[in-house]
Amino acid sequence: MRIATITNWAYGITVGLTLASGSAMLMASSADRVERQAVQQRQVFDTLSDEVENDAWALSDLARLYVIKPSPETLTQYQQLQQTDKSIEQRLGGLKDNGASREELALLQDGLRIANELQDEQQAALAHVARGDASAAIAVLYGTAYETELERMQTQIDRFRQMLEHRAAVAIDQATERSRIWRTLSEIMVGLTALMFLFVLGFILKRRVLYPVVRLSDVVQRLASQDYAVETPHFTQVDEIGDMAQAIRIFRENGLARQRLEQQRDADWAIRELLARMTQRLQGCETIEDVIKVAERFAPNIAPTIPGKLYVLDTDPWQMRCVAQWLSPAGETTPFSPTTAGRYGGDSAIRRCRASPISPAIICRRRTPASRSAYRSSPRAKPLAC
């Protein structure tokens, strides 16, 4: 897989994990907000239920106190509290607006109805006191029926409070659990994002990019200094690094080929220079000995891997005589007759032969009689190189 593809996938996964982590954090924050709302609602319900309970018991206590010990102050307090007491609809509306259920409102409504009935009995007791019948008033407020109604009212309020506590506790627990789950998911997403980042740094940048690029950089520096002996790294992965390695390998092969061509060109120029110098020296030679010295000096440099000998043709006696040799050539150096040139390579042994109808010529015994007059040696006994 190419590095660009891996990088795009890693980038997409990282963005997805980041978005998922952000969404999980938002959901956890929403769950926390629901939990706070549940706690606030429970506090409001507790306040309202306490208000209902306290008002009912306060009215009952003031009425009982007044029938036992009538006083204008007690009556005034009772009347003020009764005037400020809210109606059933107002109390139920306040609870309903804060999210109370129908069952809870029904329980509270029963309790408030009982409290209103108790207030009616309290008004009857106060009327008995006003008429001077205190015993009847005491019988009403301290009787069994009144106590039973008070207990019923307290029971309804307690049940209402228990239902509120249970519902609030369930809501808080659910909100806390959702918040914990979303926070855990958010932490997991953050951890996966960090692992993906480390994967990109460790695997892609270090193993797939940094390490190969360092090796390729060293190879490129050595190739730039024309050190073509360096071995190019071989990367099997099909990606941008593999393409770079292939390009560097081709560059090295081209450099080696160019280097070989330059070496061959330099060698050719050196040989040409030697040939030019040898030609110049030969043109300045005046004797056979000078020619022999020039040939003996330049021939090993012109053909350093080819051994050879230089022969001259003597007319008296009629024979080929070796006057110079170089690079330890094989074979004998004894003089031989030109007619036996075949044992030294035949016609190719005489380098300065040319076709001529003039006779007599140096005849090679290998030739047929019809072609013996076709070749003759160079005149004036010029040297022959073998």
Does residue 32 share a domain with residue 179?
A: yes
Say whether both 16 and 141 belong to one domain: yes
Does 295 reside within a domain? no
Residues 146 and 16 in one domain: yes
Tell me if 45 is assigned to some domain. yes
**Same domain flag for 41 and 154:** yes
From 172, 201, 230, give the residue that closes a domain: 201
Q: pLDDT band for 47, please (50, 70, 90 cuts).
A: confident
Asked whether the predicted pLDDT for residue 7 surpasses 60, the reply is yes
pTM for this entry: 0.48
Mean pLDDT of 20-41: 83
Q: Residue 355: inside a domain, yes or no?
A: yes
Q: Name, of 93-97, 163-167, 245-249, 331-335, the range with top average pLDDT.
A: 245-249
Of the three residues 182, 201, 220, the one that is the final residue of a domain is 201
Q: Is residue 71 part of a domain?
A: yes
Q: Which pLDDT does position 361 carry in this prediction?
A: 41
- What local confidence, expressed as pLDDT, does residue 341 receive? 57
Beta carbons within 10 angstroms of residue 236's beta carbon: 6
Q: In this predicted model, what pLDDT tens digit does every residue of 245-294 receive, in sequence order?
A: 888 889 889 988 988 999 899 989 988 998 999 899 888 888 888 888 88
Confirm whether 318 is domain-assigned.
yes
Residue 298 inside a domain? The answer is: no
Write the pLDDT tens digit of every residue in 85-127.
655 556 556 666 566 677 777 777 787 788 888 888 888 888 8
Range of the domain at 328: 305-385
Residue 377 falls inside a structural domain: yes
User: Is 232 within the bounds of a domain?
Assistant: no
| pLDDT at residue 241 tops 90 | no
Domain count, the chain: 2
Same domain, 190 and 319: no
